[in-house]
Structure 1
Amino acid sequence: MATAPFSAVNAPAASRAGAPTLIGSVQRALRLLESVASHRDGAPAKQLAREAGLPLPTTYHLLRTLCHEGYLRRENGVFLLGAAVPRLARDEALQNRRSKIVEMLRSLCDHLGAPVYFAVYRDGEIELVSVADSPETPAVEEWADFRATGHAHALGQCLLSQLDGAARRDHLDRYPVSSLTPHTVRSTGALLTRLAALDRTARDPLRPVIERQEYALGTACAALPISVGPAAAALAISVPLAREEQLLPTAERLRREISTLLTSGTFSISI
Protein backbone atom coordinates (compact mmCIF):
# COMPACT_ATOMS: atom_id res chain seq x y z
CA MET A 1 0.00 0.00 0.00
CA ALA A 2 1.38 3.43 -0.90
CA THR A 3 2.51 5.67 1.92
CA ALA A 4 0.62 8.93 2.24
CA PRO A 5 2.72 12.03 1.67
CA PHE A 6 3.93 13.90 4.74
CA SER A 7 1.52 16.68 5.66
CA ALA A 8 -0.03 18.40 8.63
CA VAL A 9 -2.54 15.55 8.75
CA ASN A 10 0.02 12.85 9.50
CA ALA A 11 2.66 15.03 11.16
CA PRO A 12 3.77 13.98 14.64
CA ALA A 13 1.26 14.91 17.31
CA ALA A 14 3.83 16.98 19.20
CA SER A 15 4.38 19.21 16.18
CA ARG A 16 0.65 19.72 15.63
CA ALA A 17 0.20 20.54 19.29
CA GLY A 18 2.68 23.40 19.05
CA ALA A 19 5.59 21.73 20.81
CA PRO A 20 8.69 23.94 21.25
CA THR A 21 10.80 24.35 18.14
CA LEU A 22 14.18 25.96 17.58
CA ILE A 23 12.74 28.90 15.67
CA GLY A 24 10.10 29.34 18.35
CA SER A 25 12.76 29.48 21.06
CA VAL A 26 14.69 32.09 19.09
CA GLN A 27 11.56 34.18 18.64
CA ARG A 28 10.77 34.04 22.35
CA ALA A 29 14.36 34.96 23.24
CA LEU A 30 14.19 37.95 20.90
CA ARG A 31 10.94 39.10 22.49
CA LEU A 32 12.63 39.00 25.86
CA LEU A 33 15.61 40.98 24.56
CA GLU A 34 13.25 43.60 23.15
CA SER A 35 11.46 43.83 26.51
CA VAL A 36 14.73 44.25 28.40
CA ALA A 37 15.91 46.88 25.88
CA SER A 38 12.78 48.95 26.56
CA HIS A 39 13.80 49.38 30.23
CA ARG A 40 16.88 51.53 30.68
CA ASP A 41 17.20 50.54 34.34
CA GLY A 42 16.29 46.89 33.80
CA ALA A 43 13.20 44.89 34.73
CA PRO A 44 12.45 41.79 36.87
CA ALA A 45 11.62 38.41 35.36
CA LYS A 46 7.89 38.54 36.15
CA GLN A 47 7.44 41.88 34.40
CA LEU A 48 9.42 40.67 31.37
CA ALA A 49 7.30 37.52 31.21
CA ARG A 50 4.11 39.60 31.14
CA GLU A 51 5.42 41.97 28.48
CA ALA A 52 6.72 39.17 26.26
CA GLY A 53 3.59 37.07 26.77
CA LEU A 54 5.57 34.07 28.02
CA PRO A 55 5.02 31.58 30.85
CA LEU A 56 7.21 32.37 33.84
CA PRO A 57 9.13 29.02 33.76
CA THR A 58 9.96 29.58 30.07
CA THR A 59 11.02 33.13 30.84
CA TYR A 60 13.38 32.03 33.63
CA HIS A 61 14.94 29.39 31.37
CA LEU A 62 15.53 31.86 28.52
CA LEU A 63 16.83 34.56 30.85
CA ARG A 64 19.39 32.14 32.31
CA THR A 65 20.50 31.15 28.81
CA LEU A 66 20.75 34.74 27.61
CA CYS A 67 22.76 35.70 30.70
CA HIS A 68 25.09 32.73 30.17
CA GLU A 69 25.70 33.81 26.56
CA GLY A 70 26.36 37.42 27.58
CA TYR A 71 23.29 38.97 25.95
CA LEU A 72 21.81 39.86 29.36
CA ARG A 73 23.13 40.43 32.84
CA ARG A 74 21.35 40.38 36.19
CA GLU A 75 21.90 43.11 38.74
CA ASN A 76 19.94 43.67 41.96
CA GLY A 77 17.11 41.41 40.82
CA VAL A 78 16.58 43.02 37.42
CA PHE A 79 17.80 42.10 33.96
CA LEU A 80 19.74 44.45 31.71
CA LEU A 81 21.34 44.15 28.28
CA GLY A 82 24.72 42.45 28.35
CA ALA A 83 28.05 43.05 26.62
CA ALA A 84 27.25 40.73 23.69
CA VAL A 85 24.43 42.95 22.38
CA PRO A 86 26.66 45.79 21.07
CA ARG A 87 28.74 43.13 19.29
CA LEU A 88 25.65 42.19 17.29
CA ALA A 89 25.32 45.78 16.10
CA ARG A 90 29.03 45.97 15.24
CA ASP A 91 28.87 42.70 13.31
CA GLU A 92 25.84 43.93 11.37
CA ALA A 93 27.57 47.23 10.61
CA LEU A 94 30.68 45.38 9.44
CA GLN A 95 28.60 43.18 7.16
CA ASN A 96 26.87 46.24 5.73
CA ARG A 97 30.20 47.92 5.04
CA ARG A 98 31.57 44.82 3.35
CA SER A 99 28.43 44.53 1.23
CA LYS A 100 28.91 48.11 0.07
CA ILE A 101 32.52 47.36 -0.85
CA VAL A 102 31.48 44.26 -2.83
CA GLU A 103 28.87 46.28 -4.73
CA MET A 104 31.40 49.02 -5.41
CA LEU A 105 33.98 46.57 -6.75
CA ARG A 106 31.39 44.99 -9.04
CA SER A 107 30.51 48.42 -10.39
CA LEU A 108 34.19 49.21 -10.98
CA CYS A 109 34.71 45.85 -12.69
CA ASP A 110 31.84 46.54 -15.08
CA HIS A 111 33.00 50.09 -15.72
CA LEU A 112 36.68 49.25 -16.26
CA GLY A 113 36.26 45.93 -18.03
CA ALA A 114 38.86 44.33 -15.77
CA PRO A 115 38.88 42.38 -12.52
CA VAL A 116 39.23 44.60 -9.45
CA TYR A 117 40.90 43.58 -6.19
CA PHE A 118 40.71 45.26 -2.77
CA ALA A 119 43.20 44.48 -0.01
CA VAL A 120 44.31 45.95 3.31
CA TYR A 121 47.35 45.54 5.53
CA ARG A 122 46.12 44.84 9.05
CA ASP A 123 47.78 43.38 12.14
CA GLY A 124 50.93 42.64 10.19
CA GLU A 125 49.16 40.70 7.44
CA ILE A 126 48.03 41.27 3.86
CA GLU A 127 44.29 40.63 3.72
CA LEU A 128 42.54 40.24 0.39
CA VAL A 129 39.12 41.63 1.32
CA SER A 130 37.23 41.15 -1.91
CA VAL A 131 37.59 40.53 -5.66
CA ALA A 132 35.14 41.37 -8.45
CA ASP A 133 35.48 39.73 -11.84
CA SER A 134 33.34 38.35 -14.65
CA PRO A 135 33.43 35.38 -17.04
CA GLU A 136 34.88 37.71 -19.70
CA THR A 137 37.49 39.19 -17.34
CA PRO A 138 38.43 36.49 -14.81
CA ALA A 139 40.58 37.31 -11.79
CA VAL A 140 44.06 35.91 -11.32
CA GLU A 141 43.92 32.58 -9.52
CA GLU A 142 45.44 32.74 -6.03
CA TRP A 143 47.79 29.84 -6.64
CA ALA A 144 50.26 31.01 -3.96
CA ASP A 145 49.06 32.52 -0.68
CA PHE A 146 48.63 36.28 -1.18
CA ARG A 147 49.64 36.90 2.44
CA ALA A 148 53.03 35.26 2.00
CA THR A 149 53.79 36.58 -1.49
CA GLY A 150 53.28 40.32 -1.10
CA HIS A 151 56.70 40.93 -2.64
CA ALA A 152 55.51 39.38 -5.91
CA HIS A 153 52.14 40.99 -6.67
CA ALA A 154 51.11 44.59 -7.24
CA LEU A 155 48.67 44.63 -4.32
CA GLY A 156 51.34 43.49 -1.88
CA GLN A 157 53.97 45.87 -3.18
CA CYS A 158 51.50 48.76 -2.99
CA LEU A 159 50.61 47.88 0.61
CA LEU A 160 54.23 47.40 1.66
CA SER A 161 55.15 50.75 0.10
CA GLN A 162 52.75 52.44 2.54
CA LEU A 163 54.47 51.00 5.62
CA ASP A 164 57.41 52.51 7.45
CA GLY A 165 60.84 50.90 7.15
CA ALA A 166 60.58 48.88 10.36
CA ALA A 167 57.18 47.44 9.45
CA ARG A 168 58.43 46.51 5.97
CA ARG A 169 61.44 44.67 7.32
CA ASP A 170 59.33 42.91 9.93
CA HIS A 171 56.98 41.68 7.20
CA LEU A 172 59.82 40.50 4.98
CA ASP A 173 61.49 38.74 7.92
CA ARG A 174 58.29 36.73 8.35
CA TYR A 175 57.66 36.32 4.62
CA PRO A 176 61.03 36.27 2.85
CA VAL A 177 61.37 37.12 -0.83
CA SER A 178 61.16 34.02 -3.02
CA SER A 179 60.99 33.50 -6.78
CA LEU A 180 57.53 32.55 -7.96
CA THR A 181 58.30 33.11 -11.64
CA PRO A 182 61.44 34.05 -13.60
CA HIS A 183 60.26 37.67 -13.36
CA THR A 184 59.84 37.91 -9.57
CA VAL A 185 62.04 40.41 -7.75
CA ARG A 186 65.22 38.55 -6.80
CA SER A 187 66.18 39.81 -3.35
CA THR A 188 64.99 41.69 -0.30
CA GLY A 189 67.43 44.48 -1.09
CA ALA A 190 66.08 44.90 -4.61
CA LEU A 191 62.51 44.94 -3.29
CA LEU A 192 63.29 47.52 -0.61
CA THR A 193 64.92 49.75 -3.22
CA ARG A 194 61.81 49.47 -5.37
CA LEU A 195 59.51 50.23 -2.44
CA ALA A 196 61.59 53.23 -1.37
CA ALA A 197 61.13 54.67 -4.87
CA LEU A 198 57.35 54.56 -4.37
CA ASP A 199 57.35 57.64 -2.15
CA ARG A 200 53.76 58.08 -0.97
CA THR A 201 54.55 61.58 0.32
CA ALA A 202 55.49 62.76 -3.16
CA ARG A 203 53.36 65.01 -5.31
CA ASP A 204 51.64 62.05 -6.90
CA PRO A 205 50.40 59.83 -4.05
CA LEU A 206 48.19 57.85 -6.43
CA ARG A 207 51.00 56.69 -8.69
CA PRO A 208 50.26 53.06 -9.66
CA VAL A 209 52.47 50.14 -8.72
CA ILE A 210 53.02 48.03 -11.85
CA GLU A 211 53.87 44.34 -11.80
CA ARG A 212 54.37 42.13 -14.86
CA GLN A 213 54.38 38.35 -14.52
CA GLU A 214 56.00 38.43 -11.07
CA TYR A 215 53.16 36.54 -9.42
CA ALA A 216 51.50 34.78 -12.36
CA LEU A 217 52.88 34.21 -15.84
CA GLY A 218 50.85 35.81 -18.58
CA THR A 219 49.41 38.54 -16.33
CA ALA A 220 50.17 42.21 -15.69
CA CYS A 221 48.75 44.12 -12.70
CA ALA A 222 48.52 47.67 -11.43
CA ALA A 223 47.66 48.74 -7.87
CA LEU A 224 46.91 52.10 -6.32
CA PRO A 225 46.83 53.10 -2.64
CA ILE A 226 43.56 54.13 -1.06
CA SER A 227 42.70 55.61 2.31
CA VAL A 228 40.15 53.71 4.43
CA GLY A 229 41.16 54.86 7.88
CA PRO A 230 44.33 53.85 9.73
CA ALA A 231 44.98 50.69 7.69
CA ALA A 232 47.10 50.68 4.53
CA ALA A 233 44.85 49.67 1.64
CA ALA A 234 44.96 49.26 -2.12
CA LEU A 235 42.80 48.68 -5.17
CA ALA A 236 44.22 46.78 -8.12
CA ILE A 237 43.38 45.57 -11.61
CA SER A 238 44.87 42.86 -13.80
CA VAL A 239 44.95 42.19 -17.54
CA PRO A 240 46.30 39.32 -19.64
CA LEU A 241 49.81 40.06 -20.90
CA ALA A 242 48.47 39.93 -24.46
CA ARG A 243 46.43 43.05 -23.59
CA GLU A 244 49.17 44.79 -21.62
CA GLU A 245 48.67 48.00 -23.61
CA GLN A 246 45.36 48.38 -21.75
CA LEU A 247 46.94 48.25 -18.29
CA LEU A 248 48.05 51.87 -17.87
CA PRO A 249 44.95 53.45 -19.45
CA THR A 250 42.73 51.26 -17.25
CA ALA A 251 44.83 52.09 -14.18
CA GLU A 252 44.39 55.78 -15.00
CA ARG A 253 40.62 55.31 -15.16
CA LEU A 254 40.77 53.49 -11.81
CA ARG A 255 42.79 56.36 -10.41
CA ARG A 256 40.08 58.83 -11.42
CA GLU A 257 37.44 56.60 -9.84
CA ILE A 258 39.46 56.46 -6.61
CA SER A 259 39.72 60.24 -6.53
CA THR A 260 35.93 60.45 -6.87
CA LEU A 261 35.40 57.87 -4.13
CA LEU A 262 37.77 59.66 -1.76
CA THR A 263 36.21 63.05 -2.48
CA SER A 264 32.71 61.71 -1.89
CA GLY A 265 33.77 59.94 1.29
CA THR A 266 32.55 56.60 -0.03
CA PHE A 267 35.72 54.82 1.03
CA SER A 268 36.23 56.73 4.28
CA ILE A 269 34.93 53.70 6.17
CA SER A 270 36.85 51.34 8.35
CA ILE A 271 36.69 47.72 7.38
Structure 2
Amino acid sequence: MADQRRSGGVQSIARAFTLLELVAANGGVMGLSQLSQESGFPLPTIHRLVRTLVDLGYLRQEPSRRYALGPRLLLLADSSETMLNHVAIPHLRRVVDSAGETTNLAMLDGDQVAYVAQAPGSHSMRMFTEVGRRVSPHCTAVGKALLGESSETEIRELLARGGMERHTPHTLTDPDEFIAQVAQCRERGYALDEGEQEVGVRCVAVVVPSTSTRLAVSMSGPVPRMSDELVESAVPVLTKAAAALAADLG
Protein backbone atom coordinates (compact mmCIF):
# COMPACT_ATOMS: atom_id res chain seq x y z
CA MET A 1 0.00 0.00 0.00
CA ALA A 2 2.94 2.33 0.60
CA ASP A 3 3.85 2.00 -3.07
CA GLN A 4 0.30 2.96 -4.05
CA ARG A 5 0.41 6.10 -1.89
CA ARG A 6 3.74 7.14 -3.38
CA SER A 7 2.42 6.66 -6.92
CA GLY A 8 -0.68 8.74 -6.18
CA GLY A 9 -3.04 5.78 -5.74
CA VAL A 10 -6.07 6.01 -3.45
CA GLN A 11 -5.78 3.30 -0.83
CA SER A 12 -9.50 2.87 -0.13
CA ILE A 13 -10.28 2.40 -3.83
CA ALA A 14 -7.48 -0.15 -4.19
CA ARG A 15 -8.76 -2.03 -1.16
CA ALA A 16 -12.36 -2.01 -2.43
CA PHE A 17 -11.30 -3.56 -5.72
CA THR A 18 -9.18 -6.10 -3.84
CA LEU A 19 -12.29 -7.20 -1.95
CA LEU A 20 -14.38 -7.47 -5.12
CA GLU A 21 -11.67 -9.55 -6.82
CA LEU A 22 -11.40 -11.83 -3.78
CA VAL A 23 -15.16 -12.43 -3.75
CA ALA A 24 -15.10 -13.15 -7.49
CA ALA A 25 -12.17 -15.56 -7.12
CA ASN A 26 -13.96 -17.44 -4.33
CA GLY A 27 -17.09 -18.37 -6.23
CA GLY A 28 -18.87 -15.03 -5.78
CA VAL A 29 -19.69 -15.33 -2.07
CA MET A 30 -17.53 -14.73 1.04
CA GLY A 31 -17.88 -13.94 4.73
CA LEU A 32 -16.26 -11.00 6.50
CA SER A 33 -13.78 -13.14 8.45
CA GLN A 34 -12.62 -14.89 5.27
CA LEU A 35 -12.28 -11.56 3.49
CA SER A 36 -10.17 -10.21 6.35
CA GLN A 37 -8.00 -13.32 6.42
CA GLU A 38 -7.34 -13.42 2.68
CA SER A 39 -6.93 -9.68 2.17
CA GLY A 40 -4.93 -8.99 5.31
CA PHE A 41 -7.12 -5.96 6.05
CA PRO A 42 -8.41 -5.43 9.62
CA LEU A 43 -12.08 -6.24 10.27
CA PRO A 44 -13.11 -2.60 10.92
CA THR A 45 -11.74 -1.68 7.48
CA ILE A 46 -13.56 -4.64 5.91
CA HIS A 47 -16.83 -3.58 7.57
CA ARG A 48 -16.52 -0.02 6.27
CA LEU A 49 -15.61 -1.02 2.71
CA VAL A 50 -18.24 -3.74 2.46
CA ARG A 51 -20.97 -1.42 3.75
CA THR A 52 -20.05 1.13 1.07
CA LEU A 53 -19.98 -1.51 -1.67
CA VAL A 54 -23.40 -2.78 -0.57
CA ASP A 55 -24.81 0.76 -0.61
CA LEU A 56 -23.50 1.21 -4.15
CA GLY A 57 -24.87 -2.13 -5.34
CA TYR A 58 -21.52 -3.82 -6.04
CA LEU A 59 -22.05 -6.30 -3.17
CA ARG A 60 -25.21 -7.67 -1.58
CA GLN A 61 -25.74 -9.50 1.70
CA GLU A 62 -27.05 -13.05 1.57
CA PRO A 63 -29.43 -14.55 4.19
CA SER A 64 -26.38 -16.46 5.44
CA ARG A 65 -24.84 -13.06 6.37
CA ARG A 66 -22.12 -13.62 3.79
CA TYR A 67 -21.59 -11.19 0.91
CA ALA A 68 -22.09 -11.86 -2.79
CA LEU A 69 -21.30 -9.87 -5.92
CA GLY A 70 -24.02 -7.31 -6.56
CA PRO A 71 -26.12 -6.59 -9.67
CA ARG A 72 -24.43 -3.26 -10.41
CA LEU A 73 -21.30 -5.15 -11.46
CA LEU A 74 -23.26 -6.26 -14.54
CA LEU A 75 -22.90 -2.73 -15.92
CA LEU A 76 -19.13 -3.03 -15.68
CA ALA A 77 -19.18 -6.62 -16.92
CA ASP A 78 -20.97 -5.70 -20.14
CA SER A 79 -18.42 -2.99 -20.90
CA SER A 80 -15.43 -5.12 -19.90
CA GLU A 81 -16.51 -8.03 -22.12
CA THR A 82 -16.84 -5.66 -25.08
CA MET A 83 -13.35 -4.30 -24.37
CA LEU A 84 -11.96 -7.81 -23.90
CA ASN A 85 -13.41 -8.90 -27.23
CA HIS A 86 -11.87 -5.87 -28.98
CA VAL A 87 -8.42 -6.52 -27.48
CA ALA A 88 -8.48 -10.29 -28.04
CA ILE A 89 -9.65 -10.53 -31.66
CA PRO A 90 -6.30 -9.61 -33.32
CA HIS A 91 -4.50 -12.28 -31.29
CA LEU A 92 -7.15 -14.89 -32.08
CA ARG A 93 -6.99 -14.06 -35.79
CA ARG A 94 -3.23 -14.64 -35.82
CA VAL A 95 -3.85 -18.16 -34.50
CA VAL A 96 -6.42 -18.76 -37.26
CA ASP A 97 -3.98 -17.45 -39.85
CA SER A 98 -1.42 -19.98 -38.63
CA ALA A 99 -3.60 -23.04 -37.96
CA GLY A 100 -6.83 -22.44 -39.88
CA GLU A 101 -9.28 -23.53 -37.18
CA THR A 102 -11.74 -21.49 -35.11
CA THR A 103 -10.09 -19.85 -32.09
CA ASN A 104 -11.88 -18.72 -28.93
CA LEU A 105 -11.27 -16.73 -25.78
CA ALA A 106 -13.08 -18.00 -22.68
CA MET A 107 -13.26 -16.84 -19.09
CA LEU A 108 -14.16 -18.46 -15.78
CA ASP A 109 -17.38 -16.78 -14.64
CA GLY A 110 -18.46 -18.17 -11.29
CA ASP A 111 -18.76 -21.93 -11.73
CA GLN A 112 -19.14 -21.77 -15.52
CA VAL A 113 -17.05 -21.08 -18.59
CA ALA A 114 -18.19 -18.17 -20.76
CA TYR A 115 -16.98 -17.65 -24.34
CA VAL A 116 -16.25 -13.94 -24.81
CA ALA A 117 -14.47 -13.66 -28.17
CA GLN A 118 -14.03 -15.70 -31.33
CA ALA A 119 -12.14 -15.65 -34.63
CA PRO A 120 -13.85 -18.00 -37.14
CA GLY A 121 -11.73 -20.59 -38.88
CA SER A 122 -10.90 -20.49 -42.57
CA HIS A 123 -12.83 -23.69 -43.35
CA SER A 124 -16.46 -23.76 -44.43
CA MET A 125 -18.12 -25.44 -41.44
CA ARG A 126 -20.40 -24.32 -38.63
CA MET A 127 -18.97 -23.00 -35.35
CA PHE A 128 -18.93 -25.34 -32.38
CA THR A 129 -19.12 -22.49 -29.90
CA GLU A 130 -20.37 -18.94 -30.10
CA VAL A 131 -19.71 -15.77 -28.16
CA GLY A 132 -21.95 -15.61 -25.10
CA ARG A 133 -22.29 -19.36 -24.72
CA ARG A 134 -21.84 -20.69 -21.19
CA VAL A 135 -20.83 -24.27 -20.45
CA SER A 136 -19.67 -26.35 -17.51
CA PRO A 137 -15.88 -26.60 -17.05
CA HIS A 138 -15.77 -30.40 -16.76
CA CYS A 139 -16.48 -31.05 -20.45
CA THR A 140 -14.20 -28.48 -22.10
CA ALA A 141 -10.50 -27.95 -22.70
CA VAL A 142 -10.83 -24.33 -21.61
CA GLY A 143 -12.41 -25.49 -18.35
CA LYS A 144 -9.44 -27.72 -17.59
CA ALA A 145 -7.02 -24.92 -18.43
CA LEU A 146 -8.93 -22.32 -16.39
CA LEU A 147 -9.02 -24.51 -13.29
CA GLY A 148 -5.28 -25.13 -13.39
CA GLU A 149 -4.73 -22.50 -10.69
CA SER A 150 -7.41 -23.94 -8.40
CA SER A 151 -6.69 -26.34 -5.56
CA GLU A 152 -8.06 -29.88 -5.63
CA THR A 153 -10.53 -28.95 -2.88
CA GLU A 154 -11.77 -25.93 -4.85
CA ILE A 155 -12.23 -28.05 -7.98
CA ARG A 156 -14.15 -30.73 -6.10
CA GLU A 157 -16.44 -28.11 -4.56
CA LEU A 158 -17.09 -26.54 -7.97
CA LEU A 159 -17.89 -29.93 -9.52
CA ALA A 160 -20.19 -30.78 -6.61
CA ARG A 161 -22.11 -27.52 -7.06
CA GLY A 162 -22.54 -27.82 -10.82
CA GLY A 163 -22.54 -31.58 -11.29
CA MET A 164 -20.83 -33.43 -14.13
CA GLU A 165 -23.57 -33.91 -16.71
CA ARG A 166 -22.74 -36.36 -19.48
CA HIS A 167 -22.98 -34.66 -22.89
CA THR A 168 -21.31 -37.35 -25.00
CA PRO A 169 -19.93 -40.87 -24.42
CA HIS A 170 -16.55 -39.19 -23.82
CA THR A 171 -17.62 -36.66 -21.17
CA LEU A 172 -15.71 -36.93 -17.91
CA THR A 173 -18.11 -37.71 -15.05
CA ASP A 174 -15.56 -38.84 -12.43
CA PRO A 175 -14.09 -35.97 -10.35
CA ASP A 176 -10.83 -37.89 -9.84
CA GLU A 177 -10.34 -38.30 -13.57
CA PHE A 178 -11.10 -34.64 -14.22
CA ILE A 179 -8.67 -33.51 -11.50
CA ALA A 180 -6.00 -35.78 -13.00
CA GLN A 181 -6.50 -34.11 -16.39
CA VAL A 182 -6.25 -30.64 -14.82
CA ALA A 183 -2.96 -31.70 -13.23
CA GLN A 184 -1.77 -33.00 -16.60
CA CYS A 185 -2.66 -29.64 -18.15
CA ARG A 186 -0.55 -27.84 -15.52
CA GLU A 187 2.39 -30.12 -16.28
CA ARG A 188 2.38 -29.98 -20.07
CA GLY A 189 0.95 -26.47 -20.52
CA TYR A 190 -2.21 -27.25 -22.49
CA ALA A 191 -5.53 -29.09 -22.13
CA LEU A 192 -7.54 -31.24 -24.54
CA ASP A 193 -11.23 -31.91 -25.06
CA GLU A 194 -11.62 -35.20 -26.89
CA GLY A 195 -15.24 -34.95 -27.98
CA GLU A 196 -16.38 -34.37 -24.41
CA GLN A 197 -18.70 -31.44 -25.18
CA GLU A 198 -19.70 -32.32 -28.75
CA VAL A 199 -19.22 -35.61 -30.58
CA GLY A 200 -16.63 -35.35 -33.35
CA VAL A 201 -15.12 -32.09 -32.09
CA ARG A 202 -11.62 -31.82 -30.66
CA CYS A 203 -10.29 -28.80 -28.81
CA VAL A 204 -6.95 -27.67 -27.40
CA ALA A 205 -6.61 -24.80 -24.90
CA VAL A 206 -3.96 -22.87 -22.97
CA VAL A 207 -4.39 -20.48 -20.08
CA VAL A 208 -3.72 -16.76 -20.46
CA PRO A 209 -1.02 -16.07 -17.85
CA SER A 210 -0.91 -13.41 -15.16
CA THR A 211 -4.37 -11.86 -15.52
CA SER A 212 -6.74 -10.99 -12.68
CA THR A 213 -9.63 -12.62 -14.60
CA ARG A 214 -9.04 -16.25 -15.45
CA LEU A 215 -8.86 -16.51 -19.24
CA ALA A 216 -7.99 -19.26 -21.70
CA VAL A 217 -7.46 -19.38 -25.47
CA SER A 218 -8.63 -22.43 -27.40
CA MET A 219 -8.75 -23.82 -30.91
CA SER A 220 -11.45 -26.29 -31.97
CA GLY A 221 -12.42 -28.22 -35.05
CA PRO A 222 -13.65 -31.57 -36.36
CA VAL A 223 -11.57 -34.58 -35.30
CA PRO A 224 -10.33 -35.45 -38.84
CA ARG A 225 -8.72 -32.00 -39.16
CA MET A 226 -7.60 -31.67 -35.51
CA SER A 227 -4.86 -34.25 -35.84
CA ASP A 228 -2.15 -34.82 -33.24
CA GLU A 229 0.25 -33.05 -35.59
CA LEU A 230 -2.00 -29.98 -35.86
CA VAL A 231 -2.49 -29.86 -32.09
CA GLU A 232 1.25 -30.14 -31.52
CA SER A 233 1.95 -27.28 -33.91
CA ALA A 234 -0.93 -25.18 -32.55
CA VAL A 235 0.12 -25.27 -28.90
CA PRO A 236 3.09 -22.88 -29.26
CA VAL A 237 0.98 -20.55 -31.43
CA LEU A 238 -1.79 -20.50 -28.83
CA THR A 239 0.76 -20.01 -26.04
CA LYS A 240 2.32 -17.06 -27.86
CA ALA A 241 -1.11 -15.52 -28.48
CA ALA A 242 -2.06 -15.96 -24.82
CA ALA A 243 1.14 -14.28 -23.65
CA ALA A 244 0.64 -11.38 -26.08
CA LEU A 245 -2.95 -10.94 -24.92
CA ALA A 246 -1.81 -10.95 -21.28
CA ALA A 247 0.71 -8.22 -22.10
CA ASP A 248 -2.00 -6.11 -23.77
CA LEU A 249 -4.28 -6.51 -20.78
CA GLY A 250 -1.42 -5.36 -18.56
Report TM bin, short chain.
0.5 to 0.7
Query: What is aligned with 1:118?
Result: 105
TM-score, with length taken from structure 2: 0.58
Identity of aligned residues (%): 20
The yes-or-no answer on 1:182 pairing with 2:169 is yes
Q: Is the 8 A contact 2:106 2:216 kept in 1?
A: yes
Query: What is aligned with 2:26?
Result: none
Alignment partners' CA distance in 1, 2:160 and 2:100: 37
Instruction: Give the residue type in structure 1 aligned to 2:207.
Output: P
Name whichever structure is richer in helix by fraction.
Answer: 2
Please, which of 229, 237, 242 is the counterpart of residue 258 of structure 1? Answer: 242
The yes-or-no answer on 1:99 pairing with 2:83 is no
Deviation at 1:218, TM superposition (A): 1.4
- Indicate how the Cα distance of structure 1 residues 230 and 188 shifts in structure 2: closer, same or farther if over 3 A, else same: same
Alignment partners' CA distance in 2, 1:141 and 1:219: 8
Q: Supply the RMSD in Å over aligned alpha carbons.
A: 3.2
Unmatched runs of 5 consecutive residues or more in structure 1: 1-86
SS at match of 2:117: strand
Alignment partners' CA distance in 2, 1:94 and 1:142: 17
Task: Show the 5 A alignment for 1:243-254.
Answer: 243=225, 244=227, 245-254=229-238
Alignment partners' CA distance in 1, 2:126 and 2:236: 19
Query: What is aligned with 1:71?
Result: none
Query: What is aligned with 2:116?
Result: 129
The yes-or-no answer on 1:153 pairing with 2:140 is yes
TM-score, with length taken from structure 1: 0.54
Q: Is the 8 A contact 2:208 2:216 kept in 1?
A: yes
Please, which of 149, 159, 169 is the counterpart of residue 172 of structure 1? Answer: 159
Query: What is aligned with 1:231?
Result: 213
Deviation at 1:93, TM superposition (A): 7.1
- Indicate how the Cα distance of structure 1 residues 183 and 94 shifts in structure 2: closer, same or farther if over 3 A, else same: closer
Query: What is aligned with 2:200?
Result: 218
Please, which of 218, 233, 240 is the counterpart of residue 222 of structure 2? Answer: 240
Alignment partners' CA distance in 1, 2:163 and 2:76: 39
Task: Show the 5 A alignment for 1:45-64.
Answer: none
Alignment partners' CA distance in 2, 1:238 and 1:103: 18
Q: Is the 8 A contact 1:210 1:220 kept in 2?
A: yes
Alignment partners' CA distance in 1, 2:214 and 2:157: 15
Alignment partners' CA distance in 1, 2:100 and 2:159: 33
Alignment partners' CA distance in 1, 2:136 and 2:193: 13
Alignment partners' CA distance in 1, 2:90 and 2:191: 24
- Indicate how the Cα distance of structure 1 residues 93 and 195 shifts in structure 2: closer, same or farther if over 3 A, else same: closer
SS at match of 1:141: coil
Q: Is the 8 A contact 1:124 1:171 kept in 2?
A: yes
Deviation at 1:156, TM superposition (A): 1.2
- Indicate how the Cα distance of structure 1 residues 230 and 166 shifts in structure 2: closer, same or farther if over 3 A, else same: farther
The yes-or-no answer on 1:209 pairing with 2:191 is yes
The yes-or-no answer on 1:193 pairing with 2:177 is no
SS at match of 2:138: coil
Number of matched residues?
174
- Indicate how the Cα distance of structure 1 residues 140 and 173 shifts in structure 2: closer, same or farther if over 3 A, else same: farther
